[in-house]
Amino acid sequence: MSTPRSPRAQRLARLTALCAATLLLASCGGGGGGGGGSTDDGATGGSAAPPVPPSSGAPGGTPTTTLDATRLAHQASFGPTEALVADIRTRGPSAWLAAQMTTASARYTRGGNGDVHQWTGSGNYCDGRSATCWRDNFSSQPLLWDFYRNAVGGADQLRQRVAFALQKIVVVSNLEVEGTYGMRYYYNTLLDNAFGNYRQVLKKVALSPLMGDYLNNANNDKAAPNENFARELLQLFSIGTCELNANGTLKGGACSPTYGNETVRHYAYALTGWTYPAGGSTAWGCWPQSTHCRYYAGDMVPVAQYHDTLERPLLSGITVPAGSSADQALEAVLDSLMQHPNMAPFIGRQLIQQLVASNPSAAYVGRVAAAFNAGRHQGFGSGQRGDLAATVAAVLLDAEARSEIPTRSAGKLREPVLHFTGVLRALGGRTDGDALGWWWGETMRQHVFRPPSVFNYFPPDYPLPGVAGLKAPEFGIHNANTSLERLNYLTYLLWWGGSAASADVPGALGTRVDLQPYTADAADAAKLVDRLSTLALGARLPSATRTQVIAAVEAYTAQNDAQNWATNRVRQAAYLVFGSPNYQVQR
């Protein structure tokens, strides 16, 4: 039996084990699941099963390993659960993806309606209304509640995860635009099109009144067109600023501009002449003349008198003919982007970075770009250029995504949102999301729906500090403070009990984990640690780290902690596993 330890000694044991894990990460050169450690394929040991490659041809099923199933759960969901890993392992990656693409979507439903943009009374809309009026009608908070409920408990994990990736490419932010109902419409559109076609995504984005307000394309006048949306459409939403080869590398080995200011100007003219959908009103009428008042429910509609009708040369050899309507000009804009050789590698690489790895090889990007262009991959897709089902399948079924022996540069830092959801899902948690916005979201610099700019929370080309040539987007919001806050979040969930349900949150759940299912293994510290690490990583911790963690868990005994030793062992093990670099770096 272990020697009784004081609470201070127990805390030191936790920290010592974490430090040991950190040092081992540096010496092993990796922080992924099982990196440098055992490849046992079960929670409690045993012989490793041989890797089973994903099935080819039509989306079918070939069982895979626990390690592969766990890695796919990290890449394609908001975090593994024991049930999810078992499902993927049994079905195989291809069949699981196919099933996920037909799973009914959990949608955004909370928050107010368009009344906020139909108010014709005097004063402010919220004057004399409830204390939560602004929150419920203007802010993104109700959507955040839905986001985290769906991410932690929804069955359509892949759709939710892909839509989350898309919202970080075609960015709007509640820091700049307000209207909960409009944001709800926008983000439901991304859910609807997560496995559709990227051309349709861009079309809905271009016609979105929320985006039109955010990037100044609503009521854009041919007499003096605002270039904001046109510039970001080119730079961020479609083709990027440098000419690319089909595999995403720079043409000629250096950045040759994809377009110049004159091209941006032509796109801005081509995109003039759109106003808000009908439905909005104000006490002062609508302005400019013949346009609609601000209103976010639906797509923007054309206003001929503000649309430029001159011939406009675009990219890809496409020209907007003289006399074209706003609708015709928009179709030409979309044609020019979808036919541009940069589109497939530029968007494909970002989807890889969002789901799998910060530094995919050129060959990996090339294979994903080929699937984007062909619209098919291993039985997925419609055969139409830009098919996202085919593209997502290519991202997730690629050999680099499914390899059980990742390279040193493989994987990505787990972004804060995935840290929040991953721990909750693994530990049977529930959340209404309320604590994950203004508290933990702000603390960790990833408050969903409130990115600081159109460039997202972090840029896709952010360099990994101290390592030449490697990109690490998530490190753009990672520093000494947020590193410690990741551990504080674990303390909050495991040792403070999370958050109780709040009376002013509709259908409140609070934010809590359920450790009871793991207490059955508490008497055997090694078994408990292996069960949690297999869930989190797909394999045991590396040997030396595992030894340290087991010792820290064994600090709690019935002799020194008669009432809570079993629960505290689970807390200790979970804190050390989910706080370890092995978990924080998704490999």
- What pLDDT is recorded for position 408? 82
Q: What is the mean pLDDT of residues 131-139?
A: 98
Residues 6+ apart with CB under 8 A from 388: 162, 193, 194, 195, 196, 197, 198, 201
- What pLDDT is recorded for position 8? 43
Q: Which tens digits make up the pLDDT trace of 165-217?
A: 999 999 999 999 999 999 999 999 999 999 999 999 999 999 999 999 999 99
pTM of the complete model: 0.91
Q: What is the mean pLDDT of the chain?
A: 91
- State the alpha helices, DSSP H only, in 180-256: 180-192, 198-207, 209-214, 228-235
Q: Which tens digits make up the pLDDT trace of 307-354?
A: 999 999 999 999 999 999 999 999 999 999 999 999 999 999 999 999
Q: What is the mean pLDDT of residues 526-548?
A: 98
- What pLDDT is recorded for position 61? 74
Q: What is the mean pLDDT of residues 495-503?
A: 97
pLDDT of residue 9 exceeding 60: no
pLDDT band at 520 (very low <50, low <70, confident <90, very high): very high
Domain segments of the chain as ranges: 7-95+410-586, 103-238+259-339, 344-409
Q: Which tens digits make up the pLDDT trace of 214-232?
A: 999 999 999 999 999 999 9
Query: CA–CA separation, 214 vs 176, rounded Å?
Result: 6
- What pLDDT is recorded for position 60? 64
Give the end-to-end CA distance of the chain in Å, rounded to a whole number. 36
Q: What is the mean pLDDT of residues 502-514?
A: 97
Residues 6+ apart with CB under 8 A from 556: 10, 564, 565, 568, 569, 572
Q: What is the mean pLDDT of residues 228-252?
A: 98
What is the identity of the amino acid at 230? A
Helix (H), strand (E), coil (C) string for 77-119? CCCCCHHHHHHHHHHCHHHHHHHHHCCCCCCCCCCCCHHHHCC
φ/ψ (deg, to 5) at 142: -60, -35
pLDDT of residue 29 exceeding 70: no
Q: Which tens digits make up the pLDDT trace of 151-166?
A: 999 999 999 999 999 9
Sequential DSSP letters for 415-450: PHHHHHHHHHHHTT-EE-SGGGTTTHHHHTT--TT-
Q: What is the mean pLDDT of residues 369-389?
A: 98
Which tokens hold the place of 9? 């000694």
- What pLDDT is recorded for position 465? 86
What is the identity of the amino acid at 498? G
- What pLDDT is recorded for position 406? 83
Q: What is the mean pLDDT of residues 133-150?
A: 98
Q: Which tens digits make up the pLDDT trace of 51-93?
A: 333 333 446 679 999 999 999 999 999 999 999 999 999 999 9
pLDDT of residue 512 exceeding 80: yes
Query: CA–CA separation, 516 vs 559, rounded Å?
Result: 21
The closest alpha carbon to 354, from 582, 182, 170, belongs to 170
